[in-house]
Amino acid sequence: MKDLLRLRTSLTEEIEKILNDQIKMEAESSALYLAMSSWCDRNGFDFSAGYFKKQSDEEREHMLRLFKYVSDMGGRAVSPSIANVPVEFDSFRGIFELALQQEIDVTNSFNRIADRCMKAKDYMTFSFVQWFLKEQIEEEYVARRALELFEMIGEEGTGRYEIDKRVPKISYEDTYEA
């Protein structure tokens, strides 16, 4: 039966597995950003709370886009379980450092998927993944600019308040696109 079902999809078992791993990574990112939003809200960083809530929603959308692709290709998309999501963070700045690292990790993961697709000659999935790679340019850019606010403004006095106000205004659209 397994061989018959495998005939109904052009996804290899390896590609299906790495896509399901990415579905899980996106779900974990969504949960992490939601936890960051909650932490910011509890600590009076209202604008950053909204920013991280929006990030959480975007990561969930990414997860669902991957999930749909695996299903549409006849594969078995797996709804992941998420555990051990932190609820406390060391500092306001630390959240943004963690967010940037999370985006770098996601970019690296999509690069590995693209590489595996090329090696497997799965050009449909390779083409599908291109959207995510382009999206990661924006995600990393915004995360870096947010973190740079800490260097430019500083956290003393009203610094955190100023940073909090500016975070949601960071936009990749304001930069040139090649």
pLDDT of residue 171: 85
Q: What are phi and psi of 21, to 5 degrees?
A: -65, -40
User: What is the DSSP track for 137-175?
Assistant: HHHHHHHHHHHHHHHHH-STTTHHHHHHHHGGG--STTS
- CB of 52 closer than 8 Å to CB of 33: yes
pLDDT tens across the length of the chain (178 residues): 455 554 566 799 999 999 999 999 999 999 999 999 999 999 999 999 999 999 999 999 999 999 999 999 999 999 999 999 999 999 999 999 999 999 999 999 999 999 999 999 999 999 999 999 999 999 999 999 999 999 999 988 899 999 999 999 998 875 555 5
Say which CATH architecture domain 21-77+88-169 belongs to.
Answer: Up-down Bundle (1.20)
Summarize pLDDT for 110-147 with one digit per residue, the tens. Answer: 999 999 999 999 999 999 999 999 999 999 999 999 99
User: pTM for this one?
Assistant: 0.89
pLDDT of residue 177: 53
Amino acid at 80: P
Enter the DSSP assignment of 16.
Answer: H
- CB of 26 closer than 8 Å to CB of 62: yes
d(CA 153, CA 48): 16
Residue 137's contacts (CB-CB under 8 Å, 6 or more residues apart) are: 172
